[in-house]
Structure 1
Amino acid sequence: MNLEHHYATLGDAFYTHVAIQPLHEQRLVEFNQALATSLSVDIKSPETKALLMGETVLPQGLSMVYAGHQFGGFSPQLGDGRGVLLGEVRGQDGLLYDLHMKGAGLTPYSRRGDGRAVLRSCIREYLASEAMSALSIPSSRALALFDSREAVYRERPEPGAMLLRTANGHIRFGHFEFFFYQGKQAQLDQLVEHCLDYYYPECRQAEQPLVAMLLAVVKRTAQMIAKWQAVGFQHGVMNTDNFSITGETIDYGPYGFMEDFDESWVCNHSDYEGRYAFARQPGVGLWNLNCLMRCFSNHLERDQLVSILQTYEAELQQHYDDLMLAKTGLEKTTDLHVLLPSLFSLLTKEKMDYSVFFRLLAHFRESEFDLLLDEVIDRQALSNWLQQYQAARLSNTLSWSQMSERMLQTNPKFVLRNYLAHSVIQAAEQGDYLPFRRLLNVLTSPFEEHQASDELAQRSPEWGKSLEVSCSS
């Protein structure tokens, strides 16, 4: 494994050197072979395993320091409280990817925590990050999972675990906030130059590289959130320290994939005021970007920063419209804007499963309404909508069958429901990882039929809908 250490060159103001602290009787229980191959990482080699399990100390290992707005309040110093950035590896595509170990033990930024992760949270992140990647949503990825016989205490004693994850980068909005509010202009400038060098080199060619980079960050963030909304994903903790400068989804905690359609849905049991409710995610994204822009008030004029932020809404709306056109099988935005609000009202009233409905819509054949009508109580209301929808689809330039095929590659049959994650976690805690691997298999190819795994595409049972997840998840 050929590790590079570009972030480490920034200096001690940006991190503290730390080492992975091994867990008791830890084991490598799962690894992502395809991803490892693309990064030229031989997970099975004794040298690599010894490094990843903390048996061989990596002198350049570090935990990042950053700040962040958490549920609207500013925390002036946060940081990797249980994570170690091992370094970067160069993929076969020529790009650099961070290797970051979650649950590696205490760091100077652990605050009142223990620096550990539990098997439950590591499995949830492994499944979610791979599911999101399969849905073409920019995301950190899971590379390897380690379990152990060490007890970690949350609401109850749980098996300790570590998760090796990759991403284009782990620099957060909160990194910039830390140096800005500390008044450390030189370090803030260093961070800007680092991001231009390693994440936005194309912006170096612009007349104003910083402006070009910030515009790109706004665009990537808008597109990421549009994708969340289109697939029904809720992050759960949209703090600025959980937002990546690269526009990737990171830090999977109390996330969820929408089941019964409800725009006011809150997946995080700890979000008592619903700050990060599903329908609020686009607005929170803009709020977070506004926090980021403040960090450059010494670099750019206010009008320039406002102008950069003003590109967000149009970018998000355009990308969301494009995604929903593909999802519904429509070609005209005017049709979409007429049909979508009334559909969402129907789905809310019927408490219809979001992913199931759109998958059925992809299978919908001209004038054969019963497939969908059998799913609702108010058959007349849905029948009226389907008549309008059918008329709009028949005006497409593509044939019905062509559009249906496109829809089947846009609307997943399999999504990660909380009850499915709960079930595989229970099995894994007993040492059985077969249910985990079976679920992972369908989540990483979610548009395929996988007929032998049809039960994994079913709606949640009632007990599954009542499962709660919080920040400790």
Structure 2
Amino acid sequence: MKLEHHFASLGEAFSSETLIQPLLEQRLVEFNQPLAAFLSVDIKSPETKRILSGELPQKSSLSMVYAGHQFGGFSPQLGDGRGVLLGEVYGQDGLLYDLHMKGAGPTPFSRRGDGRAVLRSCMREYLASEAMTALAVPSSRALALYDSREAVYRETPEAGAMLLRTAHGHIRFGHFEYFFYQGKHAELDQLIDYCLTHYYPDCLAAELPLVSMLTEVVKLTARLIAKWQAVGFQHGVMNTDNFSFTGETIDYGPYGFMEDYEPNWVCNHSDHEGRYAFSRQPGVGLWNLNCLMRCFSKYLERDQLIAILQCYEPELQSHYDTLMMQKMGLDSVEVMQDLVPDLLTILAAEKLDYTVFFRLLSHLEANDCEPLLDEVVDRERLRTWVERYQAARLAMVDVDWSQTSFDMLKVNPKFTLRNYLAHEAILAAERGDYLPFRRLLNVLNSPFEEHPESNVLAQRAPEWGKSLEVSCSS
């Protein structure tokens, strides 16, 4: 494994040298072999294994400094309080990928914390990041999971763990906020040049490279959130320090995947005001981008920044429309937009399972709607909607009902990461049994396949499973 250290070359204003501090009796319990092969990381190499676990210290490993707006309030200095960037490696696509360890121990930015992570949170991030990747949602990914016999104290003592994760980059909106509000203009210049060179090199050929790069960031963010809304994902903590400059989902904490459809659903029980509720995510994305654009006020005119931000809403709407057309097997935006509001109203009123409903819709026959009607109390209301929907599909040009259903099954997953399934897998792992975790990971890696042996993992959550709380504590 050949580690690169491009971010480290920016200098000490951007980070502090930090070493991974291995846990007590630490074990490698899960390794993402397909991802490792893509990154040319050979875990069978004794040296590579020792580097990744922190047993062989790397002098260029570091923790990043950044700022961020957290639940609307600005924190002028945050940073990797428990994370260590080992360096970067090249993937088979020729792009650089960070290797970043979560739970690596105290850093200069730990703010009196222990710098550790617990097994519960590491497993949840591993499962979510791989599930999102399989759903074609840009995301960080999990490369390795370590457990240990070291106790980490949160509400109660828990097993300490570390998660080695990868992403195109871990530069956040908060990186730019840190240097802008500190008045460190030379460092802000460096960061802009670094991002243009390493993440947006095509923009260098544009007449205005910075405008081109920021426009791309806005569009990537818009498309990312459109995907969140289409798959029913709620991030839970959409602070600017949790937003990636490369348009990836990062920092999985109190996230959730929609089960019973509820537009104002809040998965993070610490978000008492519902700031980051599911229906508010598109607006929060724009708010965060506004925060980011302020950091470039010395480079671009106000009208230029406004024009860049104005790309957000049409990009998000267009991408969301395309995704929903695919989920519904339609070929017209207008028809889809006519049908979706009434459908979502029905889903909310009936508390229908979002994933189950769209999977059933994919199996719908041209002249039979009984399987769907059996899901609801108000059968006539849904029947009226289904008849409209069936007529719309039959009216499509060159309609092939079977082919359309086949295509819908490729975008409407059978399996989703239900909170209670993650909870059960975590409880088993805490007892030393990782089999439920691996079974769940297997279906999440290919969620559109039938996996008949795992049908139980596609079932709706029991009532007790719908009331589990997820917090930021990890």
Whether these two folds match at TM > 0.5 is: yes
SS of the equivalent of 2:236 reads: coil
- Partners of 1:404 and 1:36 lie apart in 2 by 35
Counterpart CA distance in 1 for 2:20 and 2:43 is 16
Counterpart check, 1:56 vs 2:49:
no
Q: Which residue pairs with 1:104 in the alignment? A: 104
1:114 counterpart residue number: 114
CA distance in 2 between counterparts of 1:111 and 1:77 reads: 10
Distance 2:44 2:171 in 1: 29
Which residue identity is paired with 2:430? E
> Hey, what's the Cα distance between the residues in 2 that align with 1:44 and 1:431?
23
Match of 1:32 in 2: 32
Q: How far has the Cα of 1:44 moved from its partner?
A: 2.7
2:163 is aligned to 163
> Structure 1: how far apart are the matches of 2:395 and 2:60?
60
Q: Using the alignment, how far apart are the partners of 1:214 and 1:53 within structure 2?
A: 36
* Aligned equivalents of 1:326, 1:52: Cα separation in 2: 40
Q: CA deviation at 1:92?
A: 1.2
How much has 1:367 moved relative to structure 2?
1.4
TM-score (normalised: structure 1): 0.99
Q: For residues 153 and 359 of structure 2, what CA distance do their matches in structure 1 show?
A: 40
Structure 2 residue aligned with 1:197:
197
In the alignment, the residues of structure 2 paired with residue 103 and residue 329 of structure 1 have an alpha-carbon distance, to the nearest angstrom, of 43
- After superposition, give the CA deviation of every residue in 1:306-358 in whole Å (9 maximum; x if it has no partner): 00000100000000000000001111111111110100110011000001000
Between the aligned partners of 1:257 and 1:57, the Cα distance in structure 2 is 37
Q: Does 1:437 align with 2:438?
A: yes
**1:233 counterpart residue number:** 233
Residue 12 of structure 1 aligns to a residue whose secondary structure is coil
Q: How many residues align?
A: 473
Question: CA offsets per residue over residues 411-447 of structure 1, 9 Å max, x none?
Answer: 0000000000000000000110111000000000000
* Percent of matched pairs sharing the same residue: 74
**Which residue does the alignment assign to 1:224?**
224
The amino acid that maps onto 1:45 is S
- Residue of structure 2 equivalent to 1:374: 374
Q: How many angstroms apart in 2 are the aligned matches of 1:27 and 1:4?
A: 26
Per the alignment, residue 258 of structure 2 pairs with 258
Partner Cα separation in structure 2 for residue 180 and residue 47 of structure 1? 40
| Paired letter, 1:293 | M
Shift of 1:93: 1.2
Aligned to 2:143: 143
Distance 1:43 1:456 in 2: 30
Counterpart in the other structure of 2:132: 132
Cα deviation, residue 385, structure 1 = 0.3
Q: Distance in 2 between matches of 1:13 and 1:35?
A: 32
CA distance in 2, matches of 1:387, 1:370: 11
After TM superposition, give the deviation of residue 300 of structure 1 in Å. Answer: 0.1
- When structure 1 is superposed on structure 2, of 43-52 and 272-281 the one drifting more is 43-52
Query: Using the alignment, how far apart are the partners of 1:148 and 1:51 within structure 2?
Result: 17
Task: State the distance in 1 between where 2:45 and 2:30 align.
Answer: 14
How far apart, CA to CA, are the structure 2 residues paired with 1:293 and 1:311?
13
The residue aligned with 2:314 is: 314
Counterpart residue number, 1:455:
456
Write the distance in 2 (CA, Å) between the matches of 1:332 and 1:286: 27
Matched residue SS, 1:321? helix
The residue that corresponds to 1:359 in the other structure is 359
Distance in structure 2 (CA, Å) of the matches to 1:281 and 1:443: 24
Q: CA deviation at 1:53?
A: 1.8
Structure 2 gaps, min length 5: none
RMSD: 0.6
Matches within 5 A, 1:72-111: 72-111=72-111
Amino acid aligned to 2:58 = L
1:65 paired with 2:65, answer yes
Q: Distance in 2 between matches of 1:444 and 1:361?
A: 22
Q: Distance between the aligned counterparts of 1:112 and 1:409, measured in 2?
A: 47
TM-score, with length taken from structure 2: 0.99
Alpha-carbon shift at residue 54 of structure 1 (Å) = 1.7
Cα distance in 1, alignment partners of residues 380 and 202 from structure 2: 54
